[in-house]
Amino acid sequence: MRAVITRVASASVSIEGTVVSEIEHGLLALIGVANGDGTADIDYVAAKIRDLRIFSDAANKMNLSVKDVDGAVLAVSQFTLLADVRRGRRPSFIRAAAPEPANDAYEGVVSRLREAGLVVRTGVFQADMQVASVNDGPVTIVIDSRSET
């Protein structure tokens, strides 16, 4: 499972010009589910989104989590995070999970974040969405549950 999280002043998801979800201060989390992702991947990614200390404290050091700053999370499913572009010019999405297990895993991350007491808003799974954000910092972190680096 791969996630790209961005610290934001605000973020929103629109479909056909209508805002369907939005947050103020917090994290925009784009989440891609790979073939074979399971409970361990869901737990890992949710814990990282919840606990990464990427918000500034009083000394202007990145030392606080989204929960510490009473921030919200806008979670958006994005299978294109699993694109393989090593060959040719057209990305391959063969590593991305099929829609049903991908949605289950995505919803698992959302559920874990809500269980931790976070306010979580979501995109619409498999919809053509327009995602807008005002990046704060900017601070953008890539989380990969299978990375060894």
Digit-coded pLDDT (tens) for 100-120: 999 999 999 999 999 999 999
Which one of 78, 93, 130, 149 is the catalytic residue? Answer: 78
Residue 10's domain is classified under what CATH number?
Answer: 3.50.80.10
Residue 149 lies in a domain: no
Instruction: Look up the domain containing 10 and give its range.
Output: 2-144
147 pLDDT tier (thresholds 50, 70, 90) = confident
Domains contained in the chain, number: 1
**Alpha carbon of 113 to those of 15, 77, 87, 119, 134: distances in Å?**
24, 15, 36, 8, 22
Which one of 55, 80, 122, 149 is the catalytic residue? Answer: 80
Reply yes or no on whether 79 is catalytic.
yes
Reply yes or no on whether 78 is catalytic.
yes
pTM here is 0.94
Which one of 6, 55, 79, 122 is the catalytic residue? Answer: 79
**Alpha carbon of 115 to those of 10, 27, 75, 108: distances in Å?**
22, 17, 15, 10
Number of helices (H) and strands (E), helices first, in the chain? 2, 8
